């Protein structure tokens, strides 16, 4: 294993941004992607040193390997990498952690540590990647009892070197958190856009407020279909809770209960203002 080599599997927005950030820190980047044009572009830019054509022939030479593909594709790739890479740390960037962490436990993959950067944009693909994407962003890691403390610290130090604020959490808790703050909002955002139903008059006048609240609906449909399936149970609970919230608001609106309607919006404002204030 060479200490300064990193393997990136999946060179999209997240994988590409990681590659650029790590290259900036002095690491040698090797990459695999089914989209050969993304790899070639990264090589031409001097970001990627070497293209990997077959993961089944991966050598045990990487200090870190990052799996940056849609979550339902992550486990087969982890299976391939773990059969070859025994010394370096393997991690992923998936938005759900329960499935892959349980897989690593069942198959005794002690050098796998789950990860998830709370960073990104609505854009898709390597061409939108940039090295500052993770600067100041929260980055979850979800170690299990199998992981060595020194490996956990190595991964933390690596992520902190590109500006991440690393948070260590249990993988089940991670999926609860992301379901509330990320997965349900994407479902709601897509629902609001789908209500337009391509109606020209609605689309014409969909202004700044609507575009702000639905910006995330421009994200990858493949990625969000995978996330929804992989975090199904958490998401179903939250959808039921959200429907109940809307039903209560509907009841208040029907009866013109001004105080209840006012409280609905006031509570949201207080919580939202607190969130924004904490970011300053």
Q: Map tokens 């995978």 to a residue.
A: 226
Predicted confidence at residue 201, as pLDDT, reads 84
Query: What is the domain range of residue 73?
Result: 2-169
Q: Are residue 249 and residue 155 in the same domain, yes or no?
A: no
- CATH classification of the domain holding 32: 3.40.50.720
> From the first residue on, what is the mean pLDDT of each consecutive set of 10 residues in the chain (280 residues)?
86 96 96 92 95 90 95 95 94 96 97 94 87 94 96 97 96 96 95 87 83 89 93 96 98 98 97 80
Indicate the residue among 109, 138, 169 that finishes a domain: 169
- Smallest Cα–Cα separation from 4: which of 67, 117, 103, 88? 88
Our count of domains for the chain comes to: 2
User: CB neighbours of 245 closer than 8 A, spacing ≥ 6?
Assistant: none
Give the pLDDT of residue 203. Answer: 84
Residues 26 and 152 in one domain: yes
Same-domain pairing of 106 and 151: yes
**Co-location of 135 and 50 in the same domain:** yes
Q: Do 197 and 90 share a structural domain?
A: no
pLDDT tens-digit map of 169-184: 999 999 999 999 999 9
Same domain as 165, residue 219: no
Q: What is the pLDDT of residues 60-113, one digit of tens each?
A: 899 999 999 999 999 999 999 999 999 999 999 999 999 999 999 999 999 999
At 67, phi and psi to the nearest 5? -95, 110
Say what the pLDDT of residue 278 is: 64
CATH of the domain at 186: 1.10.3660.10
Pair (45, 119) in one structural domain = yes
From CA 32, how far away is CA 11, in angstroms rounded? Answer: 7
Are residue 132 and residue 204 in the same domain, yes or no?
no
Alpha-carbon distance of 271 to 280, in angstroms, equals 15
Residues 6+ apart with CB under 8 A from 2: 28, 61, 62, 63
Q: Are residues 116 and 155 in the same domain?
A: yes
pTM of structure: 0.88
Looking at residue 188, its pLDDT comes to 96
Domain boundary among 169, 195, 223: 169
Structural domain ending residue among the three candidates 169, 188, 220: 169
In a shared domain, residues 158 and 193: no
Is 163 in the same domain as 178?
no
Domain co-membership, 69 together with 153: yes
Confidence (pLDDT) at 209: 87
Predicted local distance difference test score (pLDDT) of residue 280: 54
């Amino acid at each position: 294993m060479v200490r300064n080599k990193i393997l990136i599997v999946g060179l999209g927005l997240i994988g590409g941004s990681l590659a650029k950030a790590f290259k900036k820190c002095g690491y040698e980047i090797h990459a695999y992607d089914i989209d050969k044009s993304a790899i070639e572009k990264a090589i031409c830019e001097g970001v990627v040193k070497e293209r990997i054509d077959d993961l089944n022939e991966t050598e045990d030479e990487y200090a870190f390997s990052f799996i940056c593909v849609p979550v339902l594709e992550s486990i087969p790739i982890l299976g391939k990498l773990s059969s070859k890479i025994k010394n370096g740390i393997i991690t992923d960037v998936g938005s759900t952690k329960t499935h892959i962490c349980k897989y690593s436990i069942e198959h005794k993959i002690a050098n796998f540590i789950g990860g998830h950067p709370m960073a990104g944009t609505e854009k898709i693909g390597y061409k939108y990647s940039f090295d500052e994407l993770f600067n100041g962003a929260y980055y979850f890691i979800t170690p299990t009892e199998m992981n060595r403390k020194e490996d956990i610290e190595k991964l933390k130090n690596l992520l902190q070197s590109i500006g991440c604020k690393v948070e260590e959490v249990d993988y089940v808790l991670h999926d609860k958190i992301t379901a509330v703050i990320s997965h349900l909002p994407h479902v709601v955002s897509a629902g609001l856009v789908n209500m337009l139903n391509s109606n020209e008059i609605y689309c014409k006048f969909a202004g700044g407020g609507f575009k702000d609240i639905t910006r995330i609906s421009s994200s990858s449909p493949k990625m969000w279909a995978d996330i929804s399936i992989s975090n199904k149970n958490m998401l179903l609970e939250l959808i039921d809770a959200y429907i109940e919230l809307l039903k209560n608001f509907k009841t208040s609106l029907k009866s013109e209960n001004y105080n209840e309607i006012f409280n609905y919006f006031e509570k949201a404002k207080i919580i939202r203002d607190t969130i924004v204030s904490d970011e300053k």
